[in-house]
Structure 1
Amino acid sequence: MSRRGGWLFLVGLVLLSFNLRPAAVSVGPVLAEVRDGLSLSAPEASLLTTLPVLAFAVFGALAPGAAARGGLHRVTLVALVAVVVGLAGRAVTGSGLVFLALSLLAVAGMAMANVLMPSLVKRHAPERIGAVTAVYSTALAIGLTSALLLTVPLSEALGGWRGGLGAWAVLAGLALLPWLLLARHDRVAPTPGGPITVAQVARTRLGLAMAAFFGVQSLHAYVMFGWFAQLWRDAGYSPAAAGALVGLLAGVSIPLSWLLPPLLARSHHQRRVLLPVISCYPLAYVGLLVAPGAGAVLWAVLAGIGACTFPLILTLIGLRARTAEGTAALSAFTQSAGYLLAAAGPFVVGLLYDATGEWTIPLTLLLVLVVPMLGLATWLSGPRLLEDELEQHAARRSAPA
């Protein structure tokens, strides 16, 4: 692309990335008010918090096929339109069922765009995957942290939860502008040998390892964002202070999401970047077991560093495929299957906490789950490419018995 087109893509990528996480997390801070305002039942509220995982599992898997048929930029634009319509509509509806349906629309768009971002980077900046991944993963982190910290103040300033949720629709609407221009340049051409499918990725060792790595990492993140505020409240912190600690945990990823992906992309020994980051998880968990209150700030920072495994995995997705199409398929399987695995984390931790009334067993479980992360990171640090595995698989199938 031209220099002008390159800048347009970067602006579009930043605006898109910033506006993806609020669709999933902005309801949480005002969930009680939403439930009261729409008379949502407990099962409906639980379904609302589960929608992002379902969206990634279903709609994320559809993204590569849609992009292959309709164009990468056009499908991204449609996905962003779904985010805007869903966010705006749910802020004004008076029906609980319509609120759930529009929330599903918003997170479905979020899921599809999220899956396509590594492919967009591969298409526009194949020689700068680490640097451009750093740009959009930082924007994701800022959007996530902003939605967690600002939804309640926005609600108070704008007259209630409807204003607080609707504000995110306005910001997402601004992100449409560059994508309206980018979508005009899509040219859909047939892929030699046909497009790479999610099902093909699922039959490779690389795809399975990436999905497992992403899933275990996301499990840790879901548990931290879903339960650590309660952990710190049990340790004696006020609700506001416990929420601020979770905000600190999320905020740590903002500068590190900028620094770590280029470092990983340039490294000839990628495990030297991955393993120290992942190793911050057990340090945080042991600290929470021993002194959850006294060292809360330190444990939040260490857990936040561990959570920066997420942008590193996004970088690996771009580095483990040769083409934009392969990257899209690898991203779709990695995230769809990974989020399904991750969904069990908060549920199981909640059961263990309810059964024991303390955090020893849940934190011990998280400690144990660091072990497969370290093993997967070591294996994935090797020079592996999706297309190579697919070619080897095809050669084995065509070889005479």
Structure 2
Amino acid sequence: MPSEETRTLTSTTVTDPAAQDTAEADASPTRAWRRRLLVVAIVLAALNLRPAITSLGALLEEVRDGLGMSGSVAGLLTSVPPLCFAVFGVTAPRLARRFGAGAVVCAGMAAITAGLLIRPYAGGTPGFLAASALALMGIAVSNVLMPVIVKRWFPDRVGSMTGLYSMALACGTAVAAAATVPLTDALGGDWQPGLTVWAALAAAAVLPWLPFVRNGERTGAARGASARGAAGREAAGRGASAREAAEQGAPAREAADRDASARGASAEAGAGTAGAERPALRITRSRTAWALAVFFGLQATAAYITMGWVAQIFRDAGVAAGTAGVLLAVIMAMGIPLAFVIPRVATRLPSQGPIVLVLGVCGLAGYAGLYFAPAGGAWLWALLLGVSNCAFPLALTMVGMRARTGSGVAQLSAFAQSTGYLISIPGPLLVGVLYQHSGGWGLPIALMAALMVPQMLVGVLAGRDRTVEDEAAAR
């Protein structure tokens, strides 16, 4: 079975003149330099997509005490990330069409910087939530547009680039979880500087996106127009050649063949123009899109419960605060190697269902360990939950595989992530409510384990070898 990267490359080079023009442009020094810079920009952006969340998880008890939060309000705080991702993520494709994907991601990095600088000193819970929402808005639009940028700039390396992006995301998540408590202690023990320090990393991520703000999207459009113009000129040339051959006495069949070739090239150019004006894909008609959205939502539920509450579970079991932060970091760090391996393996399989099942079984085992012996086997449970947490890079990879075109990926990414994050909103909040009213972690952990079962079922459905374009057209 050929890899997904191979299938993508073959289809674009054979049938898409615009892609051929892009491939030729890739050889130019300027284009090559921009691609290398874009790799750096993607990595730095990915590093900033979770520290705003995991740094808070490591200091949640201190923030609760400092702001006077109850367990239910803290649960609301841990539900803010998926809420913001759902609300703001759906706007990302529209913003990208108007301003360009590079400009939107650059603005997203700036919003993360501002939110992280403001929230520790906003004064009170409402200000803290509002500043958190600003940072999460930047994360939301970047989340949605990363698969789009990878598909557009690296169509022959979707698996590899998704793996690199996911690995950087996992690295940023893990480092923030592990380093926040030691940094807070080094800065005097106050939680406010310990949260503010992560704004520096976000500010660094703004810089490499600046060259893609002004003309990144217009350059791509110009290449498409150039390709269509070249196809039209080629058609005209072939038509003239056919007429010349006929005038010079060439066999009628040869002349007819050349004229037919000219008409085919002309039609291909017209198809490229028509493709640019195609109506939006009716993504809600696709069962795979819905399965992928639900899978994304359930894995996001597990991820945000883990980032928001697992460190507290370990602390309540008698684990020291610094060690609990390191355990959370271990969970996130498992994604560094696996986020690079899983997308590459997934693109080589006709169905991603087996990977979904393996990750789900690891999650169930980890939750069982948290229920029966949270402190005794803490490191093993952290490893198992870390493997289960790699459903996120798998979901991103499936977004790129379940659509054939860049516009299809953009719509599927926005739909799956926005719908998925809406689904994930109640989970962290419900965990906080159950924890406060039951006085322990038994019921919350049982809820986490119960949600893993439907995640496995819809993940198998989302992993089937089909595309949303075909399903939407067939209904």
The residue number in structure 1 matching 2:182 is 153
Relative distance call for 1:41 and 1:230 in structure 2 (3 A) is closer
What whole-Å deviation, never above 9, does each CA across 1:143-167 have from its counterpart, x for those lacking one?
1112222223223333544433332
Relative distance call for 1:73 and 1:374 in structure 2 (3 A) is same
Relative distance call for 1:365 and 1:334 in structure 2 (3 A) is same
**1:348 pairs with 415, 427, 430, which one?**
430
Return the TM-score normalized by structure 2.
0.75
Looking at structure 2, the residues matched to 128 and 28 of structure 1 have their Cα atoms a distance apart, in angstroms, of 34
What whole-Å deviation, never above 9, does each CA across 1:233-267 have from its counterpart, x for those lacking one?
44443343333322222222222112111111122
Deviation at 1:94, TM superposition (A): 5.2
The residue number in structure 2 matching 1:372 is 454
Q: Which one is further off, 216-225 or 52-61?
A: 216-225
Looking at structure 2, the residues matched to 229 and 166 of structure 1 have their Cα atoms a distance apart, in angstroms, of 20
Looking at structure 2, the residues matched to 258 and 243 of structure 1 have their Cα atoms a distance apart, in angstroms, of 24
The residue number in structure 2 matching 1:332 is 414
Please give the secondary structure, in 1, of the residue aligned with 2:450. helix
The residue number in structure 1 matching 2:105 is 76
Q: Is the 8 A contact 2:296 2:395 kept in 1?
A: yes
Is residue 19 of structure 1 aligned with residue 17 of structure 2?
no
Q: Is the 8 A contact 1:134 1:260 kept in 2?
A: yes
Relative distance call for 1:49 and 1:225 in structure 2 (3 A) is closer
Q: Is the 8 A contact 1:71 1:187 kept in 2?
A: yes
Deviation at 1:34, TM superposition (A): 4.9
Relative distance call for 1:4 and 1:270 in structure 2 (3 A) is same
Is residue 225 of structure 1 aligned with residue 307 of structure 2?
yes
The residue number in structure 2 matching 1:163 is 193
What whole-Å deviation, never above 9, does each CA across 1:209-250 have from its counterpart, x for those lacking one?
111101111222222233333433444433433333222222
**1:62 pairs with 79, 91, 96, which one?**
91
Deviation at 1:172, TM superposition (A): 1.2
**Looking at CA atoms only, which structure, 1 or 2, has the larger radius of gyration?**
2
Q: Is the 8 A contact 1:217 1:310 kept in 2?
A: yes
Please give the secondary structure, in 1, of the residue aligned with 2:210. helix
Looking at structure 1, the residues matched to 365 and 355 of structure 2 have their Cα atoms a distance apart, in angstroms, of 17
Please give the secondary structure, in 1, of the residue aligned with 2:347. helix
Looking at structure 1, the residues matched to 151 and 411 of structure 2 have their Cα atoms a distance apart, in angstroms, of 12
Q: Is the 8 A contact 2:76 2:428 kept in 1?
A: no
The residue number in structure 1 matching 2:278 is 193
Looking at structure 2, the residues matched to 36 and 299 of structure 1 have their Cα atoms a distance apart, in angstroms, of 28
Deviation at 1:316, TM superposition (A): 0.6
Please give the secondary structure, in 2, of the residue aligned with 1:266. coil
Q: Is the 8 A contact 2:79 2:429 kept in 1?
A: no
Q: Which one is further off, 86-95 or 269-278?
A: 86-95
Q: Is the 8 A contact 2:399 2:409 kept in 1?
A: yes
Q: Which runs of 5+ in 2 are unaligned?
A: 1-25, 222-274
Deviation at 1:56, TM superposition (A): 0.7
Q: Is the 8 A contact 1:64 1:325 kept in 2?
A: no
Is residue 281 of structure 1 aligned with residue 311 of structure 2?
no
The residue number in structure 2 matching 1:4 is 33
The one-letter amino acid paired with 1:339 is: Y
Q: How many residues align?
A: 389
Looking at structure 1, the residues matched to 60 and 378 of structure 2 have their Cα atoms a distance apart, in angstroms, of 25
The one-letter amino acid paired with 1:182 is: F
Is residue 253 of structure 1 aligned with residue 335 of structure 2?
yes
What whole-Å deviation, never above 9, does each CA across 1:350-392 have from its counterpart, x for those lacking one?
3444444444444333333222222222222222212222322
**1:120 pairs with 149, 154, 166, which one?**
149
Is residue 172 of structure 1 aligned with residue 202 of structure 2?
yes
Identity %: 43
The one-letter amino acid paired with 2:417 is: Q
Deviating 4+ runs (over 6 angstroms):
none
Looking at structure 2, the residues matched to 56 and 228 of structure 1 have their Cα atoms a distance apart, in angstroms, of 21
Looking at structure 1, the residues matched to 440 and 62 of structure 2 have their Cα atoms a distance apart, in angstroms, of 28
The one-letter amino acid paired with 1:173 is: A
Q: Is the 8 A contact 1:264 1:270 kept in 2?
A: yes
Looking at structure 1, the residues matched to 122 and 191 of structure 2 have their Cα atoms a distance apart, in angstroms, of 12
Is residue 271 of structure 1 aligned with residue 353 of structure 2?
yes
